[in-house]
Amino acid sequence: MTAITFLSRGLLACALVASAGAAVAANPELGRQKAEQVCASCHGKDGNTPIDPSYPKLAGQHKDFLERALLDYRSEARKNAIMVGQAKQLSRDDVRNLAAYYSSLPGGLSVKR
């Protein structure tokens, strides 16, 4: 294999990896739309005012935490009858978008020291 062919293949591989990353990028606006349809009735429209004090505030949470929680509910690794039912209806893109949306919101949570 010549150096030019090797370089060309390397550039092609880099371009494919870069385009794949763009394809899975989260969209907070789509997350907002899905949140209004699915999540707001329990967690509040702003993600800070759940209808029950035992329900978590989602706004300002870490994106990775939110994604993992939703995926765990979806796979039933995390148990909660309401959330399992809700999460099973979400696509992988929905999960990414919801996590991006809620993590972008100002949170009402703080650490007391």
> Looking at residue 39, which CATH number applies to its domain?
1.10.760.10
Rg (C-alpha) for the chain, rounded Å, is 19
Domain around 51: 26-104
What pTM does this model have?
A: 0.76
Q: What is the mean pLDDT of residues 6-10?
A: 57
Q: Is residue 43 part of a domain?
A: yes
Q: Is residue 88 part of a domain?
A: yes
pLDDT tens sequence across 13-64: 555 555 444 456 899 999 999 999 999 999 999 999 999 999 999 999 999 9
Give the separation between CA 47 and CA 30, rounded to whole angstroms: 15
DSSP 78: S
Q: Is residue 109 part of a domain?
A: no
Q: Is residue 113 part of a domain?
A: no
Give the separation between CA 13 and CA 108, rounded to whole angstroms: 43
Q: Is residue 15 part of a domain?
A: no
Number of domains making up the chain? 1
Q: Is residue 11 part of a domain?
A: no
Residues 35 and 47: beta-carbon distance below 8 Å = yes
